[in-house]
């Protein structure tokens, strides 16, 4: 079972679903066995130092392909929130930002292996940084091959709905035992509705992405859509609205996103985190969201 291609629940494939229900009362990293560190890796599997990046004049940043409003290409030009934040990082180093659009794998482990700390088996290489990596403390303890830093925003699950269908306010998850709702197939929203809420199977309509789910809502195929807030907001039309109702028994309804990089380049991570912190403090990152008409949720740092 794939739990969402680009959502925080992809973290859970490695550690089970216990984190969905209640926080654990352990000290950080207590009882967590880290993964084996790579040995005798080739230079192309490690990436460049910060000094190397500055000397050559550009930094390669991995972003997810076709993932509005975060990252996509339009007429060959990189666009989106993560692209703009990547440019802020590059500008702080005095170099050009070059974006590598990558496909989401089955889980976050696969993405980090392919793009951050080893490279794909065929013609693969690691990028200097990867954007929109969901941060989870337990996961960071286990995956020592990558450094997780630069938390720049939080994302949360929300529900978009047709105003005509819900004139008295937006629907709650329990409504989908009777009302139709669109979700990304095998996503965290799909899992929550079918497993924790008990939504009727014939009421949950599954699509290839949350953006496609919003298109279905706009076309009148369903009464609501559930998924990450920013993706829902990006697909709103005048007859639709979005809200954030309580999500009972669901502790992973909100998560923090940041950057990841190879474990060998912690100095690069420190410098990138400094650039992000400065852009949070002076309002540049919230302004990127506001320019696209999206809600900004500050990260836990």
According to the model, what pLDDT value does residue 285 have? 98
172 vs 20 pLDDT, higher one: 172
Q: Domains of the chain: which residue ranges?
A: 8-17+47-154+255-291, 156-243
Looking at the predicted structure, is the pLDDT value of residue 4 above 50?
no
Looking at the predicted structure, is the pLDDT value of residue 30 above 70?
no
- For the stretch 34-74, pLDDT in tens is 555 555 455 455 789 999 999 999 999 999 999 999 999 99
| CA angle 37–260–141, rounded 5-degree value | 50
**CB-neighbour burial class of residue 112 (10 A; exposed 0-12, middle 13-18, buried 19+):** buried
- For the stretch 258-271, pLDDT in tens is 999 999 999 999 99
Question: Span 2-12, mean pLDDT?
Answer: 47
According to the model, what pLDDT value does residue 250 have? 84
Residues sharing a CB contact under 8 Å with residue 194, sequence separation 6 or more, in sequence order: 201, 204
Question: Span 251-264, mean pLDDT?
Answer: 91
DSSP state of 37: P
Of 16-20, 179-183, 273-277, the poorest mean pLDDT is in 16-20
- For the stretch 63-91, pLDDT in tens is 999 999 999 999 999 999 999 999 999 99
Q: How is residue 163 written in tokens?
A: 């105003």
Q: How is residue 16 written in tokens?
A: 């089970």
According to the model, what pLDDT value does residue 132 have? 96
pTM: 0.87
- For the stretch 82-116, pLDDT in tens is 999 999 999 999 999 999 999 988 888 999 999 99
140 vs 3 pLDDT, higher one: 140
According to the model, what pLDDT value does residue 123 have? 75
SS3 65: coil
According to the model, what pLDDT value does residue 212 have? 96
According to the model, what pLDDT value does residue 35 have? 55
Looking at the predicted structure, is the pLDDT value of residue 12 above 50?
no
- For the stretch 158-195, pLDDT in tens is 999 999 999 999 999 999 999 999 999 988 899 899 88
**CB-neighbour burial class of residue 86 (10 A; exposed 0-12, middle 13-18, buried 19+):** buried
CA–CA separation, 297 and 206 (whole Å): 27
Q: Which fold has domain 8-17+47-154+255-291?
A: D-Maltodextrin-Binding Protein; domain 2 (3.40.190)
- What CATH class is the domain 156-243? alpha beta
Indicate if 156-243 has the same CATH topology as 8-17+47-154+255-291. yes
Of 32-36, 63-67, 141-145, 227-231, the poorest mean pLDDT is in 32-36
Distances (CA, A) of 80 to 68, 142, 173, 292: 7, 30, 30, 9
């Amino acid at each position: 079972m794939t739990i969402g291609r680009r959502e925080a629940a992809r973290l859970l494939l490695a550690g089970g679903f216990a984190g969905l229900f209640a926080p654990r009362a352990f000290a950080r990293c207590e009882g967590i066995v880290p993964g084996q560190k790579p040995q005798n890796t080739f230079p192309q599997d490690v990436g460049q130092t910060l000094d190397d990046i500055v000397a050559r004049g550009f930094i390669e940043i991995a972003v997810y392909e076709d993932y509005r409003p975060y990252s996509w290409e339009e007429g060959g030009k990189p666009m989106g929130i993560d692209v703009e934040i990547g440019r802020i990082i590059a500008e702080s180093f005095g170099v050009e930002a070059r974006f590598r659009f990558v496909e989401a794998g089955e889980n976050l482990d696969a993405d980090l292996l392919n793009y951050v700390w080893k490279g794909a088996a065929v013609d693969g290489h690691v990028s200097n940084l990867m954007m929109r990596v969901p941060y989870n403390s337990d996961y960071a303890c286990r995956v020592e091959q990558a450094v997780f830093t630069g938390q720049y925003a939080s994302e949360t699950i929300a529900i978009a709905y047709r105003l005509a269908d819900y004139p008295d306010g937006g629907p709650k998850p329990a409504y989908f035992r009777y009302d139709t709702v669109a979700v990304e197939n095998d996503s965290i929203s799909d899992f929550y509705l079918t497993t924790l809420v008990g939504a009727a199977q014939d009421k949950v309509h599954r699509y290839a992405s949350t953006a496609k789910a919003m298109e279905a809502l706009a076309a009148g195929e369903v009464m609501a859509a559930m998924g990450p807030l920013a993706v829902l907001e990006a697909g709103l039309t005048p007859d639709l609205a979005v809200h954030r109702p309580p999500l009972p028994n669901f502790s992973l309804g909100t998560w923090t996103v940041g950057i990841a990089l190879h474990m060998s380049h912690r100095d690069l991570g420190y410098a990138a985190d400094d650039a992000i912190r400065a852009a949070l403090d002076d309002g540049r990152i919230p302004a990127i969201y506001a320019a696209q008409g999206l809600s900004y949720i500050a990260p836990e740092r």
